[in-house]
């Protein structure tokens, strides 16, 4: 049982002094969570990640997003948001001095209109935020859409903030893709993950940022003055989860896909949908 294993690990970490910021212990915990996250990314998404230079552990994906906007935006910079979106983005962008430029997708196919996306870019655009799989509509960006976003980012020298917290909520044997896995844009992607989503532990608030060092360094500096660190005992416990065998992650998908099917059939019986 994942929660039981992780809870035990919190207990052990606390018994070993995990309530304190002792430099020597701190390095071990940091190494634990960062290196295990790098290995987990490699296992499920392919790209190799340098855990010492390219990974930062944060207090949830929300803090990771806040650190990213605080670090990368100057007052007046524009950020393209592909809507509908997780509600924290716009507020955090505005607090960091940025200006939100929304592009709203529409049902039934929720596809990106390439012309609208190109037209949204100005000489003030600095970031494009992409959430895939996407909350709240469950959209997964197609290969063509990923390529379109990558091409625009390269052409206009933009950074892509890839919120991939739902990386394991991909159903029906569809593959998982990460923007960080596209070689041509590896140097302009800030990838965000969340233990809360991968282990159904939202209240723990442990997230991760993966980015090349030139992007990660300013984000780590912002993190230092937002929370300074993420509770070490929780980092240790999340490392236990990230090291679980593939079967855990496959079962998570299966369980959630079953719940999706149940919900869909209930909605159909209630008269919604075709
Ligand atoms: C798309 C998206 N990103 C980030 C988050 C925040 O994750 P965390 O709980 O790790 O802060 C959420 C939470 O609902 C979300 O839906």
pLDDT at position 16, please?
A: 61
Same domain, 188 and 256: no
Same domain, 274 and 221: no
As a three-state string, the secondary structure of 76-96 is CCEEEEEECCCCHHHHHHHHC
Q: From the CB of 34, is ligand 1 less than 6 Å away?
A: no
CA of 270 to the centre of ligand 1 (A): 30
Same domain, 81 and 160: yes
pLDDT at position 130, please?
A: 98
Q: From the CB of 196, is ligand 1 less than 6 Å away?
A: yes
Indicate which residue's Cα is closest to atom 4 of ligand 1.
61
What CATH number is given to the structural domain containing 164? 3.40.640.10
Same domain, 70 and 163: yes
Residue 194 alpha carbon, nearest atom of ligand 1: 10
Same domain, 165 and 258: no
CA dihedral 190, 193, 194, 197 (to 10 degrees): 140
Tens of pLDDT, residue by residue, the chain (274 residues) = 556 666 676 666 666 655 555 555 556 666 678 888 888 888 888 888 999 999 999 999 999 999 999 999 999 999 999 999 999 999 999 999 999 999 999 999 999 999 999 999 999 999 999 999 999 999 999 999 999 999 999 999 999 999 999 999 999 988 878 999 899 999 999 999 999 999 999 899 999 999 999 999 999 999 999 999 898 889 989 999 999 999 999 999 999 999 999 999 999 999 997 6
d(CA 175, CA 178): 10
Q: From the CB of 207, is ligand 1 less than 6 Å away?
A: yes
d(CA 6, CA 20): 19
Same domain, 175 and 111: yes
**Residue-by-residue DSSP string for 148-170:** HHHHHHHHHT-EEEEE-TTTT--
pLDDT at position 20, please?
A: 53
170: containing domain = 2-243
Q: From the CB of 193, is ligand 1 less than 6 Å away?
A: no
Same domain, 136 and 255: no
CA of 40 to the centre of ligand 1 (A): 19
Same domain, 162 and 181: yes
Query: Could you give the strand order of the β-sheet that contains 99-104, starting from the edge strand earlier in sequence?
Result: 55-58, 207-210, 189-194, 159-163, 125-131, 78-83, 99-104
pTM: 0.91
CA of 133 to the centre of ligand 1 (A): 12
Residue with tokens 């997003």: 65
Q: From the CB of 224, is ligand 1 less than 6 Å away?
A: no
pLDDT at position 46, please?
A: 80
pLDDT at position 164, please?
A: 97
Indicate which residue's Cα is closest to atom 7 of ligand 1.
61
Same domain, 255 and 207: no
Same domain, 166 and 263: no
CA of 271 to the centre of ligand 1 (A): 31
Same domain, 189 and 142: yes
Cis? peptide before 84, omega within 30° of 0: yes
Query: What is the average pLDDT score of the chain?
Result: 91
Tokens of 118: 């190109």
Residue with tokens 């709203």: 104
Residue 64 alpha carbon, nearest atom of ligand 1: 11
Q: From the CB of 60, is ligand 1 less than 6 Å away?
A: yes
Tally of domains within the chain: 2
Backbone angles phi, psi at 206, to 5 degrees: -125, 125
Same domain, 80 and 178: yes
d(CA 48, CA 68): 21
pLDDT in tens, 173-189: 888 789 998 999 999 99
């Amino acid at each position: 049982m994942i929660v039981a294993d992780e809870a035990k690990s919190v207990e052990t970490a606390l018994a070993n002094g995990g309530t304190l910021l002792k430099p020597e212990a701190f390095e071990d915990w940091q190494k634990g969570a960062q290196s295990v996250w790098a290995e987990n990314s490699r296992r499920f998404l392919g790209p190799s990640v340098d855990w010492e230079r390219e990974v930062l552990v944060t207090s949830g994906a929300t803090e990771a997003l806040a650190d990213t906007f605080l670090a990368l935006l100057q007052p007046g910079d524009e950020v393209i948001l592909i809507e509908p979106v997780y509600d924290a983005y716009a507020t955090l962008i505005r607090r960091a001095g940025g200006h939100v430029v929304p592009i709203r997708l529409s049902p039934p196919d929720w596809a990106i209109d390439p012309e609208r996306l190109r037209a949204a870019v100005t000489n003030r655009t600095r970031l494009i935020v992409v959430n895939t799989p996407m909350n709240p509509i469950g959209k997964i960006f197609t290969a063509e859409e990923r390529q379109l976003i990558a091409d625009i980012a390269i052409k206009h020298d933009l950074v892509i903030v890839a919120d991939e917290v739902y990386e394991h909520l991909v159903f029906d044997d569809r593959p998982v893709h990460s923007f960080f896995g596209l070689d041509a844009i590896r140097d302009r992607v800030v990838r965000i993950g969340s233990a809360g989503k991968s282990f159904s532990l939202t209240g723990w608030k442990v997230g991760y940022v993966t980015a090349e060092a030139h992007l990660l360094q300013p984000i780590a500096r912002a993190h230092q003055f937002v929370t300074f660190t993420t509770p070490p005992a929780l980092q240790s416990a999340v490392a236990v989860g990230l090291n679980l065998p593939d079967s855990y992650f496959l079962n998570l998908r299966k369980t959630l896909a079953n719940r999706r099917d149940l919900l869909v059939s209930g909605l159909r019986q209630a008269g919604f949908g075709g």
